[in-house]
Amino acid sequence: MNRSMILDFFGGVSQDGLSWAVDFDKVLYELARWLVPIGICLLAEGVGLEKWRKMEPLVCYRYTAVKVWWRHKFVRNLLNGILAAAVLFIIAMMIDIINISGILEEGWKVFFLWFVHMITIMSLFLVLDLTGLRKFAPAILLLLEGFTFLVGFTYMGTVRLMFGMWGMYFQSRWYYDNTGVPVLSSLITEIVLIVLGYLAGGILLKKEARK
């Protein structure tokens, strides 16, 4: 039987951290597979940011204030990242339609959780891009994702706090009713992080402009 591309690459790690029969080799394999589309999206956003930097000297004079420039940069680059994420997921959908003759019912739940999580990651990328950690931003975010997942998976009592688990359908209460990550609280937290990322970027730029 053909497997679902959506579940394999966008659903996250399927094993239950509370199970006595956890196969840690499989956990690491599924985690690596989960990080692949995230890495691709970060790469696409990084390319977009490099193009933006080359254009900055030519267009920055158009903006009357730093906050206006930051808002335009944040929104435009975030939209570019969202487009890359959407295209990637659509490709997976098309492969599923061919391989398993359709899209699984839970596919839309997988998409929703992953998409919001991906937007959060890309927002953090945009903030890190304003700091001295710019060159290491993709690696930092991938390590954050992997490390926090492993901590949450090992110590299941911490899942609510572990960023790397929030976007995984297989680790959510939509899949594990009692032990999974609460969906609503994780979504609200991610939306708050997106807003805080935007505000933090504005503050960093204002401080830089005063120097």
Taking Cα atoms as reference points, which of 95, 148, 83, 122 lies closest to residue 201? 122
Cβ(180)–Cβ(174) below 8 Å: yes
- Torsion angle, alpha carbons of 48, 50, 51, 54, to 10: 160
Average pLDDT per block of 10 residues along the chain, 211 residues long: 84 76 84 95 89 69 70 88 92 89 82 95 94 91 95 85 92 86 93 94 77 60
pLDDT value of position 58: 61
Q: What single DSSP character describes residue 176? A: S
The per-residue pLDDT for 167 is 94
| Amino acid 49: pLDDT | 86
- Would you kindly state where each structural domain of the chain is located, as residue ranges? 18-210
